[in-house]
Amino acid sequence: MTAKILDGKRVRDEILSELKPRIESLPRRPGLAVVLVGADPASAIYVRGKVKASESLNIYSEKITPADDISTAELLGIVEGLNQRPEIDGILVQMPLPKHIDSRRVLVSIHPSKDVDGFHPYNTGNLVAGIVGPQPCTPAGIMQLLRRYEIPIAGKHAVVIGRSDIVGKPMAMLLLHENATVTICHSKTADLAEECRRADILVAAIGRKWLVTADFIKPGATVIDVGMNRLADGKVTGDVDPKAMQTVAGAYTPVPGGVGPLTIAMLMANTVSAAERHACSA
């Protein structure tokens, strides 16, 4: 049996199409501010994609590009200025920041109602409690993918490899809210392959090229590969051996073209939702 490809681009296009009438019904264009510190090439590519998606939806986007020697205090001042501007609904500070900047202080300085990345502790608390609010974009996008491809979640065993605040932990929480039984694995897990083989849904988000091989995958499982690892020739590959996904899994996300497009789609969705909340409270 041939494994089903879970096409992130198709789901992204569905999500963006559904946002258009919501944007048109707002009293003004949603506004997204992206802060890109320095000239990291990978970060610049990500920001370019976010700005392009905003423009395609008629979302006002503003890119702020301070030099990489900016101080934490100066960056906090930029964020506070954006917090005060009513036409800015979402603020995104592109990570990683230069090492001398206190990243946690910067992220916490974003007002929770404008935190379209879903990283603020206030929004993390809402996620744990199951309260509606901005959710981290990559895990939220994966949930959209599973729903739209009608992958059963309730009662299934899900294994998440990785415990980051950005993907691993919120991914586990979202799956738990959908009544999956969830195991979180990490670098200290005793027998990683054995844990993964129990998964009906396996989410690999550890950032190591082809760490997950065929003996990690339960035959017929759904495999979500969040990894983005750059090869010597410049191509991007995931955390899961592509041949293993294609031959053992029942369904899988390719890299590229799987999870990546969904992250930007959910950033746009979070921005529109923020604009709707701000319009209601105005």
80-138 confidence digits (pLDDT tens): 999 999 999 999 999 989 999 999 999 999 999 999 999 999 999 999 999 999 999 99
* Mode of pairing for the β-strands spanning 229-230 and 236-237: antiparallel
Choose, from 94, 135, 225, 239, the residue flagged as catalytic: 94
- Report the CATH number of the 28-112 domain: 3.40.50.10860
- For the chain, percent of residues with pLDDT exceeding 90: 92
Ramachandran quadrant class, 115 (left: phi over 0; alpha: psi -120 to 50; beta: rest): beta
Q: Is 40 a catalytic residue?
A: no
Among 117, 200, 225, 239, the active-site one is 117
Query: Which tops the pLDDT comparison, 162 or 231?
Result: 162
Work out the average pLDDT over 125-153. 97
- Give the pLDDT band (50/70/90) at residue 268: very high
For the ranges 85-89, 95-99, 215-219, 275-279, the lowest mean pLDDT is seen at 95-99
Q: What angle do CA 89, 178, 212 make, to 5 degrees?
A: 95
CB-CB contact of 212 with 191 (8 Å): no
The pLDDT of 138-148, averaged and rounded, is 98
How sure is the predictor about 1, in pLDDT bands with cuts at 50, 70 and 90? low
- pLDDT per residue as tens digits for the range 18-29: 999 999 999 999
CB of 73 closer than 8 Å to CB of 106: no
Catalytic status, residue 94: yes
Q: Has residue 282 got a pLDDT over 80?
A: no
Is 135 a catalytic site residue?
no
Query: Which ranges in the chain are annotated with CATH 3.40.50.720?
Result: 137-259
What mean pLDDT comes out for the span 148-177? 97
Indicate where the chain has its CATH 3.40.50.10860 domain(s).
28-112
CATH number of 137-259: 3.40.50.720
Question: What is the average pLDDT across 234-238?
Answer: 91
